Amino acid sequence: MASEEFPGWHGTTIIGVKKGGEVVIAGDGQVSLGNTVIKGTARKVRRLSPGGYDIVAGFAGSTADAFALLERLEAKLEATPGQLQRAAVELAKDWRTDKYLQKLEAMLIVSDGKEMYVITGAGDVLEPEHDVTAIGSGGNYALAAGRALMDSDLSAEEIARRAMAIASDICVFTNGSLTVETIR
């Protein structure tokens, strides 16, 4: 079924902040169906360790679709150890061209501590400007707040937490129950 056939799946804000030699990816825990909160403590930021390399990924969109993409990303990372950009590009190519994957509705923020990318089903692998990026229903609010805080003395984690707090105050599909992962 296409997403337009569902009665308004919404939710999730994920932010990635790169500052001071570390990358933080944080995500809220709210899952909504229409105007109803289904769950408030979902874990949308995960640590992956394919081939012994540490990767952090956050996802927005359909949970089942995101898990399918995370599994594919892990397989790409195992095939190209230590090459996050190559694995991300290979995933994006598959996602755009494979008939099964084309139906998946999610976005990912991934990082190995050095590089950070947004991966989309349109075939995009985007490296954020200004070392901050965000996706999901409250993504624009978190992005604006994060960018405004980047010149401060705050750490990457403090920026991510404050930006998520601002997004959760504005976006009704985002809550303050955070999962935060740091990678150096």
Residues marked as catalytic? 12
Rounded to whole angstroms, the Cα distance separating 18 from 3 reads: 32
Please give the biggest Cα pair distance in the chain.
47
